[in-house]
Amino acid sequence: MKPRFSFITASLVLAACTLFLWMFFAAASLEQTAAIGGIEGPTGQDTRAPAYEFAAKWRHGMAGNSPLYMPGFFAAAIALWFWSDRKSIRRLLVEGSILLSTASLCAALLAPIAARRILDAFVLQEGFSISHAELSGSWVASAQGIYSLVTWSTVIIASRWAIRLKSLKPLLIPLALNLALAFLRPWTVADFTSLWMRQTLAGETVAVFSFLLVPIISGFMAWSELRPSHKRAAKPQQA
C-alpha cells in the first residue's frame, strides 16, 4: 500500500473513530447527571430511565441531533474497510491500538463541548430540570463506548476477511463480542434497530434515508473486495 494512501486511510479512521467515541462520551454526561441525582422531575417520577433512553438515542443520532442515523457507525465502517485492506492481523492490532488510543483521547477532550447541549435538549423534550449538571461520563460508560467501537470494528474487518477467504469463520469473533456487548449495554442492537424500523415504516425522512444507505454502502464495500482488479492485487502484508 502506498505511504500516502495509507496515511489518508489512517487519518480517516482516526476522524471516524473520534466521531464514534465522541457521541458515546458526550451522551454519557446525561447518564452520569441522572446517576448522581442531578435531574429533578415530579415527585415519584423516575428520571433515570428517560435520561438513559435519550442518551442512547442521541449517541445513535436518533434524538434529532443528526441528519443521519448511526453517523459514527457509518463513518467508521467505510474508513475501517479501506484502511484494513491487505494488512496482516499483527499490523491491524498494532496500528488499530494506536488509532483507538488517539481517538479516545480526542473524543474525551471534545465531549464536554456537546454535554451542555445534550442536557438542554433533554430538558426541553422531557420537561425535567437540572439541579446539578455533570459534563463528563463515568469511566464505565467510556469503557462501554470503546468496547462498542472495538466490536463494530471487528464486524467490518472480519466481514472483509470472510469475503476474501470465502468462509464464515472470521465472523465468529465479532459474534462473540456482540453477545458480550448485549450484557454490557442496557440499550441493545434490538432496541435501536426496532426504533429505526418503526420510523422507517412511518416514512420518517432521516430514518428512510439512513436505511437505504445500508445496502448501498454494504454493496459498494463488497464490490471493492470482489472486483477483478482487486483479486489480482498482492496478498495481505506479512508483519
Residue range 154-194, pLDDT digits in tens: 999 999 999 999 999 999 999 999 888 877 776 666 678 88
Residue 99 lies in a domain: yes
User: Higher-confidence residue: 235 or 138?
Assistant: 138
Q: pTM for the whole thing? A: 0.90
Query: What pLDDT shows up at residue 234?
Result: 46
User: Higher-confidence residue: 96 or 239?
Assistant: 96
Residues 6+ apart with CB under 8 A from 196: 62, 69, 207, 210, 211
Query: What pLDDT shows up at residue 3?
Result: 59
Residue 236 lies in a domain: no
Whether the pLDDT of residue 223 is over 50: the answer is yes
Residue 237 lies in a domain: no
Query: What pLDDT shows up at residue 17?
Result: 98
- How many structural domains does the chain have? 1
Question: Taking residues 120-143, what's their average pLDDT?
Answer: 89
Residue 80 lies in a domain: yes
Q: Minimal CA–CA distance to 76: which of 165, 159, 133, 134?
A: 159
Residue 116 lies in a domain: yes
Give the pLDDT confidence of 54-71 residue by residue, as tens digits: 999 999 999 999 999 999
Share of the chain above pLDDT 90, in %: 68
Least confident of 72-76, 100-104, 123-127: 123-127
Long-range contacts from 89-97, C-beta under 8 angstroms, 24+ separation: 89/239, 90/239, 91/237, 91/239, 92/157, 95/10, 96/153
Range of the domain at 75: 3-231
Residue 65 lies in a domain: yes
Residue 174 lies in a domain: yes
Residue 238 lies in a domain: no
